[in-house]
Amino acid sequence: MTNRDRLLGLAVVVLWGLNFIAIRVGLDHFPPFFFAALRFAVIAVPVLMFVPRPEVPLRWLLLYGIGFGILQFAFLFTAMRAGMPTGLSSLVLQSSAPFTVVLGALFLRERLRVTQLFGIAVAVAGIVVIGLDRAQHAPLLPVLLTLAGGLGWAFGNIGSRLATASGDPNPLHLTLWMTVVPPIPMFALSAFIEGPTTGLRALTDVTSPGGWHALLGLAYIVVLGTIAGSGLWTYLMSRYPASTVAPMSLLVPVVGILAAWAAFGEDPTPLSLLGGAIVIAGAFAATKVGRRDANTPAAGPVSPLPAAPDPARSRQPGLVEV
């Protein structure tokens, strides 16, 4: 990975780490499914009117939107509303990294090295430590819901990767059109689970102090968390193997935990901090592997399906080996 793209990855880390503060503020006012639907709806409406649809297969766009937009945030927002601490949410959600690496090996034929697998295993062990610590002090269900959100994010990463593999779409356009997928299903879930008028009542009550704070949180999530952060993330996923990019997300909790401590006074337990240190160590090990290969961006899109052998071409230039 080039130095410029590393800096872009770090920018995403900061944007997404602070995003959890905005999510917490929004969830203090809006019900979770309605808030998730709202964050995508305010983007999807202008996208449908003004942004050209990227020329990618509909199935990969749907996979991207369902995984990244619906599954991730339905589970994450529910977990945080059920009591998952903000800083800990930012950490446990990064289970998407090992999930993505495994799915990338299964569906994208990305070759994994032993040291890379070791790094991911270390990160998973750190998440297990955090889960055990959480189970001693509070119900484990919010942790499991957050892990489910991480799995949804991983499927979204694969959908994004497959979409970019099918052509050369504009990364920002692809990210924006991903937001078209979640609103209707999420509004339907909100009406069915939270009640048909619960979210609307919260929306009409935005003149209260909590309502204004929630709107500011929504603005941050939409502009910086989704458009800027997800756009840069999609760009990186289009240039490098999923197993190279995904572990960078494990650095998000560094920002998330510090921000939650500064904003809400959340003090993680020593065992949680130990688990976080293990997670970060695993992330560094995973991203350091294959550095010589990772420094070179993909020569072309990664083919999502095995290609038939071609005697005239001993190596497919569109395939990337890790």
Q: What is the pLDDT of residue 48?
A: 96
39 part of a folded domain: yes
Looking at every residue in the chain, the average pLDDT score rounds to 82
Quick check: 80 pLDDT over 90? yes
122 part of a folded domain: yes
Distance CA 290, CA 87 (A): 31
Residue 310, helix vs strand vs coil? strand
The CA–CA distances, whole Å, from 265 to 14, 80, 91, 176 equal 19, 16, 17, 34
195 part of a folded domain: yes
The CA–CA distances, whole Å, from 80 to 153, 171, 287 equal 16, 29, 29
Mean pLDDT, to the nearest integer, of 246-251? 74
Confidence of residue 47 (pLDDT cuts 50, 70, 90): very high
Q: How many residues does the chain have?
A: 322
Mean pLDDT, to the nearest integer, of 36-54? 95
Mean pLDDT, to the nearest integer, of 129-141? 78
Residue type, 268: P
Quick check: 64 pLDDT over 80? yes
Distance CA 210, CA 202 (A): 10
The pLDDT tens digits for 6-18 are: 899 999 999 989 9
Distance CA 208, CA 108 (A): 48
Quick check: 90 pLDDT over 70? yes
For the chain, the domain total comes to 1
The pLDDT tens digits for 262-279 are: 999 888 788 878 887 887
In 108-246, alpha helices (H): 114-137, 141-165, 171-178, 183-189, 198-204, 209-220, 231-239, 242-245
Quick check: 2 pLDDT over 70? yes
- Backbone phi, then psi, for 239, in 5-degree steps? -105, -20
Residues 86 and 21: beta-carbon distance below 8 Å: yes
- Residue numbers of the domain that contains 166: 3-294
In 51-140, alpha helices (H): 58-64, 72-81, 86-92, 96-107, 114-137
166 part of a folded domain: yes
Tokens 């990210």 -> residue: 175
Q: Which two tokens stand for residue 268?
A: 């993680």
183 part of a folded domain: yes
133 part of a folded domain: yes
Mean pLDDT, to the nearest integer, of 275-287? 74
Confidence of residue 319 (pLDDT cuts 50, 70, 90): very low
Least confident among 135-139, 173-177, 216-220: 135-139
214 part of a folded domain: yes
Quick check: 158 pLDDT over 90? yes
Q: What is the pLDDT of residue 65?
A: 96
Residue 74 buriedness (CB in 10 A; 0-12 / 13-18 / 19+) = buried
Query: Which position has the higher pLDDT, 235 or 301?
Result: 235
Q: How many beta carbons lie within 10 A of that of residue 123, not counting itself?
A: 26
Q: What is the pLDDT of residue 320?
A: 26
Query: Which position has the higher pLDDT, 247 or 150?
Result: 150
Residue 312 buriedness (CB in 10 A; 0-12 / 13-18 / 19+) = exposed
Least confident among 35-44, 147-156, 267-276: 267-276
Quick check: 179 pLDDT over 60? yes
Confidence of residue 49 (pLDDT cuts 50, 70, 90): very high
Q: What is the pLDDT of residue 194?
A: 95
Q: Which two tokens stand for residue 46?
A: 């202008």
Quick check: 287 pLDDT over 70? no
308 part of a folded domain: no
**Pick from 6, 4, 71, 9: nearest CA to 36:** 71
pTM of the model: 0.80
